[in-house]
Structure 1
């Protein structure tokens, strides 16, 4: 990579800036490489923050504090301001991506000290993102709108946000105008509380939802290293992959997605299950389901962590019956107490139906539907729904096969396999779905080679696509022009870090074989799911960590 002219020029520029006093603090030197990388990521986060002030999402209701603030008009109401902020946003996202990759390269040994380094980086990179306007997604406004629906005495699983006056100006995406809420009853109760506590002021509600998301991040910070240590993975590497990547940072903090809280509760439930504290583990796992029902997929796997051995079907069945009874009592009882009944469960099965089915299964269903419509008088949508129902049934069969195999593997890892299947057969795949799965793999194994390259590419593409397409500009500013500039900047920078950057280009090489590492076994080739030699038991916990 160093032989091409672009790489040589980049090295000369970097050496020159590294020797200049004014920029040496930012350009890495041998005496402080990790600290330089952390500062570069902090600069990237600041660029994202400033860029969001011009093209981030804001509600335009009369109660909004910032939407009509005169100090923001130069960057929000002019084409030049929108373009400059878009460039800052895109370059910041790519610089954050590069800092994330360079941090892994400079760590070297993923020992105990690397965990402290990850915490330092998370604080340095996450703090500026707390001050951003919503970017990447405007679901936070939908959260508020659905909390308002519940506060108004309506059922969010039966009534869309369009039944509220002024809903569109409040920032909610039109996709949810007449669609049922895909969230659990606990989160809807939280959303109603946010609506009440914020007095309907969008900026206050954003802060409150962001605090909920940060609570999930804190839970992950506490639990991921413990689980990784218990199962023989590398705690620092797991934190780097799951929390320091730009997709996680942007989804969990600026976008304030409730996925962070769901994942945090889900992993905390797994940790308490490893500690054999069944009641606490079960309550945490059910709370995760009550945030987003997709956590229901991992529940039957996680409760098995409390067993001394999973070799007995009777023991497995006992845990499943106990978990099922408690879940039904709490979720069904809570739903009726909240006045929403079982709507959360039926809505979860159709979650995403309001959006375009752009996932492979979604496109397949639409294709089969339109092909059937050419051959017979049927509705393409109806046929597509049949395809999606068959796909969900197939994923349920896969989950059953995993759970009922005579010799069960690590329940956390096998829940990752099951959840991966569920996501892949979903008619809609959103970028943040990958964040549900990453921790379940990372706390059991360290991965390298082609599999890690593909994950890095996936995160890169998802971040850039959302940064380019999900920007908010005033009606009189050409969104085509702004997005065109964003796409051009993203393309140039992306080509550089993938092909010409002498440091990051090697992280996109597909030459190395996919491998996974675990403390008891070392590096092994990444193969298809194999039948373990014995069913998982508590003795397979590599190292127990004090709470």
Structure 2
């Protein structure tokens, strides 16, 4: 019997609706039937899709096909329409979150039989989001604007989108008005092509950017199970964690972020390197760098995968030299073709200064800068930048230490460590940065206990905060009221999922100890882990022929 009356009443309602034919397909059936959870996630995605039509981001350019659409106008211009769409969007996000959690329970156990279920469910949940207006983030409009900057013969690493006439109506966030592009030249070329092909029609451009994101997701869908089998992790669990979580779906599909393409290329390069196809691996990793330069952190780790034995520092250095030569030649050639040389690397890595420095290092730098200015009169900006530089140097030292240790661990797992250090020492951390890290951890180990609870909680909080904070509401509608409604719905449902729902409370239970598992070592407590006694070798691959 359930421990609280709310749970008992909820179970009675579920049982009653499960016996009623119109709702039995959604709620009824055996507790272990994953198909019902997949359908609930589909319903959630449909709710998000419809909700986005009222409060998603919409460009107001003359080329827009939907700005004055008579079917959307009542949803976007009336208080009733906006309220209904807000509730649909927030409830949809919450139901999608719960469906993701419940899916891991209803598959019964993580096994090869669960992998096709993950693939089918991903297709079901992602399809409706293809037809939503951008939510969670409106960066896709800045992609289009920066493609237009390049198309106009300007340098996106020197000229902001404000150089373009009518840029604000095209939907780009004002933060990027004067800021250099944080994206690599390959992605900017793709953005330029999309601007040209779409004729500047934002809705067509969004679909094309989503297609790029889907390419990245397809690469992830192909590579993650194969890498997980190779290293002894569980493919179905890795797919559930990396591709089916609501942040992935909202960021990669609904928001059409280019992070999907970067991650897909990084994983494809990792799989190629694992199969000892060195040149292909380097090409794919360089392509990932040319989408977002942060992928540069992963490159030196993955270059070690083709080595039969990494004990020799000379062999590592030789592999790094060969890989770096290919990478530099390709990147220099790409920069020369665009007429920007290698200046895009520093420009892209340092871009985004206009974004709120809300990461721990960012807040620390701002606080120290303000304190030093009060005490000594030194310009706070100089001190803040010094703190950021020190953090970057610290990250570089840690990454170099990982690479140069006498005994190197699994290169994929250590790439995850290196990337995590770089993210945590950044002055800016966006919610979707977590998605960069998950695949590199998940393909090596399955995690449970506090480690998984932490990831689940971060995803939950980030999704819900973004749903509340990223609503596009017409200026004549009281945004405070709409946000209050969204916050109320989020709070009530969140309390139920975290504290009252007996099926989901265990996902937020911090009392369970952190452990990780793979097929060779079984379960190991994280606090008991020690550095590797010998350097990683090809014989450590669990499955020598992952297909």
TM-score under structure 2 normalisation? 0.99
For 1:143, the equivalent position in structure 2 comes to 143
Matched, 1:542 2:535: no
For 2:197, the equivalent position in structure 1 comes to 197
Matched, 1:18 2:18: yes
Matched, 1:438 2:438: yes
Report the CA distance between 1:426 and its aligned residue. 0.5
Matched, 1:41 2:31: no
- Correspondence list, 1:61-460, <5 A: 61-460=61-460
Report the CA distance between 1:502 and its aligned residue. 1.4
- Write out per-residue CA displacement over residues 388-446 of structure 1, whole angstroms, 9 at most, x where no aligned residue: 00000000000000000100000000010111111011111000000000000000000
Q: Distance in 2 between matches of 1:234 and 1:349?
A: 34
Report the CA distance between 1:60 and its aligned residue. 0.4
8 A Cα contact 2:293 2:349, kept in partner: no
Q: Distance in 1 between matches of 2:377 and 2:528?
A: 43
Q: Distance in 1 between matches of 2:217 and 2:170?
A: 27
Q: Distance in 2 between matches of 1:334 and 1:529?
A: 43
Q: Distance in 1 between matches of 2:545 and 2:210?
A: 30
Secondary structure of the structure 1 residue equivalent to 2:516: strand
Report the CA distance between 1:546 and its aligned residue. 5.0
Bigger mean CA offset, 15-24 vs 44-53: 15-24
Q: Distance in 1 between matches of 2:528 and 2:150?
A: 46
Q: Distance in 1 between matches of 2:102 and 2:546?
A: 32
Q: Distance in 1 between matches of 2:151 and 2:349?
A: 24
Q: Distance in 2 between matches of 1:390 and 1:296?
A: 19
For 2:493, the equivalent position in structure 1 comes to 493
Report the CA distance between 1:348 and its aligned residue. 2.9
Report the CA distance between 1:527 and its aligned residue. 2.5
For 1:3, the equivalent position in structure 2 comes to 3
8 A Cα contact 1:182 1:292, kept in partner: yes
TM-score under structure 1 normalisation? 0.99
Q: Distance in 2 between matches of 1:165 and 1:89?
A: 33
Matched, 1:473 2:482: no
- Write out per-residue CA displacement over residues 30-49 of structure 1, whole angstroms, 9 at most, x where no aligned residue: 18711101000000000000
8 A Cα contact 1:146 1:181, kept in partner: yes
8 A Cα contact 1:156 1:340, kept in partner: no
Q: Distance in 1 between matches of 2:219 and 2:254?
A: 18
8 A Cα contact 2:118 2:236, kept in partner: yes
Q: Distance in 2 between matches of 1:152 and 1:335?
A: 17
Q: Distance in 1 between matches of 2:28 and 2:393?
A: 52
Q: Distance in 1 between matches of 2:541 and 2:223?
A: 15
8 A Cα contact 1:294 1:348, kept in partner: no
Return closer, same or farther for 1:419/1:32 CA change in 2, 3 Å cut-off: closer
Secondary structure of the structure 2 residue equivalent to 1:523: strand
- Write out per-residue CA displacement over residues 321-377 of structure 1, whole angstroms, 9 at most, x where no aligned residue: 111111111112201211222232112331321101011100000000000110222
Q: Distance in 2 between matches of 1:527 and 1:207?
A: 45
Q: Distance in 2 between matches of 1:56 and 1:123?
A: 22
* Structure 2: tracts of 5 or more residues without a match: none
Secondary structure of the structure 1 residue equivalent to 2:26: coil
Matched, 1:533 2:533: yes
Q: Distance in 2 between matches of 1:401 and 1:482?
A: 50
- Write out per-residue CA displacement over residues 433-463 of structure 1, whole angstroms, 9 at most, x where no aligned residue: 0000000000000000111111100000000
Q: Distance in 2 between matches of 1:16 and 1:375?
A: 67
Q: Distance in 1 between matches of 2:57 and 2:530?
A: 46
Q: Distance in 2 between matches of 1:389 and 1:41?
A: 44
Secondary structure of the structure 1 residue equivalent to 2:72: helix
Bigger mean CA offset, 26-35 vs 307-316: 26-35
8 A Cα contact 1:446 1:517, kept in partner: yes
Q: Distance in 2 between matches of 1:340 and 1:216?
A: 26
Secondary structure of the structure 1 residue equivalent to 2:182: coil
Q: C-alpha root-mean-square deviation of aligned residues, in Å?
A: 1.1
Q: Distance in 2 between matches of 1:74 and 1:545?
A: 56
8 A Cα contact 2:57 2:134, kept in partner: yes
* Structure 1: tracts of 5 or more residues without a match: none
Secondary structure of the structure 2 residue equivalent to 1:156: coil
Secondary structure of the structure 2 residue equivalent to 1:137: coil
Report the CA distance between 1:381 and its aligned residue. 1.7
- Write out per-residue CA displacement over residues 159-191 of structure 1, whole angstroms, 9 at most, x where no aligned residue: 000000000000000000000000001001101
Secondary structure of the structure 2 residue equivalent to 1:545: coil
Secondary structure of the structure 2 residue equivalent to 1:355: coil
8 A Cα contact 1:136 1:467, kept in partner: yes
- Write out per-residue CA displacement over residues 460-507 of structure 1, whole angstroms, 9 at most, x where no aligned residue: 000000000001111111111111110110000000000001101122
Matched, 1:52 2:52: yes
Report the CA distance between 1:534 and its aligned residue. 1.2
